[in-house]
Structure 1
């Protein structure tokens, strides 16, 4: 496909998303199934255009003076693909599938518009109702913090220390030139893609198939390290999902822990079995029923709650989610978080057992507010000093992390702008 056909396809997908209020991944998949002539390079380019628009559609529309999908895809070509208007016009010449080019006035406005004069929600590329939420959660720099959630993300890998060190894993992936992650001592990073490019299919590589690496954002790696798992301990991953943090915890214990993985949704838990075999993590028991956990009550040294949340820290990867999010959805997640924290507290060993609370959200209502509410309900728990915990388990002091003092302790918030990771919240509590 030529550029014009790719632009037309991106507009079609964006219109489908708006009309049917569906996830972008579903819309792109359906488009590909109904247009089988499109090659993998075409599908990748179309997907990049769609995601680039969804990341910054409010600021693109404001700068263009036109928020139509046609105008937005052209804005993405200039801003995210770094193509000049003249070059775009030349590439679309005699392309019968090309949508109508923006006029000179639109291009001039786009180039000269001062985004700093736009409303705050436009500068941040978020719905209006989130302004108060984000300002309360991220402070004075909330606009820049939210705007950074509109960047293209890198591809992060975690080295499985049960089978390799970072040097060995890096050598196995040398053709992709991965760089060490800045904060996680276990991570490798491929930079964000450019233009129509795409990340390599790491899951098809021998390094992945033989368990040397797992795909895991650096922020998620850091959260798993901050749990502080040690060999010989009994650990419970209560919201294990597909097992990303379970695998990281198994590696942290050196295969010498007693690790239990549970998720209330057995469908989400299904991939964990193959992942455990590939990583050679043999100290993990997987549970599909809550009653199976009864012997662990008040016995676990560490309980990990990677809580259900809105995913408001993952908008770089799932930009459509911020446009579908509602205050009612936040309230629903809050209720679920309170319930799962209360359940988790039953399994923490009194007299020094730890409860790690993790979300991939930057919203205070899902993060610090939940810790405060939990401590009011459970006075036998206390929040630990997150900064001291960081310095104990990670090589660098947490200058690039938001510290959130509350209730005599400190929680941690990672953001793309500050730490270069997805948005993650981490709090560790000790049971007296």
Structure 2
């Protein structure tokens, strides 16, 4: 497919999203199935155009004066990919499979894509209804934080020390030009190509051998800061597919006992294969069984309980740009209610003197600090570990993380702009002996 034909395809996919209100991944998959002539490179390029457009939807609409798919794609090319009006006109020239030629109005707008008079939520490319919540957290930096959330995320890997030595793993992946993580000693970062395409890491021998896992550096940091100690008893209460469970097992050097649970058995399905590939031997997966309490024997015994809570995912907008436009106020209320319920449940497993780590991939105080404050009000025998102490689990890079992150009494907030990671909130609480 030509670049112009890919552009037309992206406009078509975005029109489908507008009409059917569904995840972008589903629309792209359907497009690929109905256009089997398109190769993998074409599909990846079209996905890149669609996701880049969704990243800059609000600002592109402002510049173009329209929210139509064509206008959004054209505006994105100017704002995110830096194409000038003439370069965009060469793509939209009305040729075979190309978008129709630019109108005079489009030419004028693309010649001067100015956002100086746009409101903050437009310049930051986030939903207007979330402005007050994000400003509460970031203050005058809210637009800059939104702009960072509207960029592409790199591909981060975690070295699995149960299977590979860091230097050997880095050497095995040298052809991908990995960079060391900024804070996590286990992280490798791989930059995407100009169209946002990542290399097929899952086909790499190092991945197949279980020596690396795909995991954002922020997620890696959350697990390290929770500080699972070798030989201890640990419960991952919302384990999902097991990303942090796997990291916990490596940090514990397969020593002690790690329990993985999730209320939805379907989310646990990928974990079993991942545990085997990663060489993990100290995990018990406690799958839900109807109304049966499968965790009753763990009450009051855990040295550490991790609550990686379901949330709105505002910190993952770089990776899931369509999600920020699909989230609604009702979803925030639903998530905060779920979080409070899960935290109430988590408390009963923490032993006296034990710790509770509360983690979200959200940037909203409603889901983060407010939940910790509510927990402490209900359970005064819990108190937050000061962030300056929490970061010591990282060793030499701990002070740098504390300086880069947004810290509060309740915990640390990571963001793409501050720490180069996905957005995460990390709070560690200690129970009185």
- RMSD (CA atoms): 1.5
List per-residue Cα deviations over 1:48-89 (Å, max 9, x = no partner): 010011001111121233332112212223333343433343
Q: How far apart, in 2, do the equivalents of 1:273 and 1:263 lie?
A: 13
Q: How far apart, in 2, do the equivalents of 1:119 and 1:66 lie?
A: 16
TM-score normalised over the length of structure 1:
0.95
Is the partner of 2:220 in helix, strand or coil? helix
Shift in alpha-carbon separation, 1:101–1:388, aligned structure 2, 3 A = farther
Does residue 383 of the first structure (1) align with residue 381 of the second (2)? no
Query: What does residue 272 of structure 2 align with?
Result: 273
Shift in alpha-carbon separation, 1:47–1:278, aligned structure 2, 3 A = same
Alignment check: 8 A CA contact 2:85 2:110 kept: no
List per-residue Cα deviations over 1:303-337 (Å, max 9, x = no partner): 00000101110000111111111111000000100
Comparing 138-147 and 330-339, the one that deviates more: 138-147
Alignment check: 8 A CA contact 1:162 1:251 kept: yes
Query: What does residue 325 of structure 2 align with?
Result: 323
Q: How far apart, in 2, do the equivalents of 1:282 and 1:51 lie?
A: 39
Alignment check: 8 A CA contact 2:156 2:187 kept: yes
The 5 Å alignment of 1:302-317 reads: 302-317=304-319
Query: What does residue 403 of structure 2 align with?
Result: 399
TM-score normalised over the length of structure 2:
0.95
Alignment check: 8 A CA contact 2:84 2:110 kept: no
Comparing 217-226 and 254-263, the one that deviates more: 254-263
Query: What does residue 368 of structure 1 align with?
Result: 369
Q: How far apart, in 2, do the equivalents of 1:261 and 1:222 lie?
A: 19
Comparing 327-336 and 4-13, the one that deviates more: 4-13
Query: What does residue 212 of structure 1 align with?
Result: 211
List per-residue Cα deviations over 1:321-375 (Å, max 9, x = no partner): 111111110000001001110111000011x100000000001101001111111
Q: How far apart, in 2, do the equivalents of 1:294 and 1:116 lie?
A: 58
Query: What does residue 64 of structure 2 align with?
Result: 64
* Aligned-pair CA distance for 1:168: 1.4
The 5 Å alignment of 1:253-264 reads: 253-264=252-263
Alignment check: 8 A CA contact 2:56 2:80 kept: no
* Aligned-pair CA distance for 1:121: 1.3
Structure 1 unmatched ranges of 5 or more: none
* Aligned-pair CA distance for 1:94: 6.7
Q: How far apart, in 1, do the equivalents of 2:172 and 2:83 lie?
A: 35
Query: What does residue 291 of structure 1 align with?
Result: 293
Is the partner of 2:95 in helix, strand or coil? coil
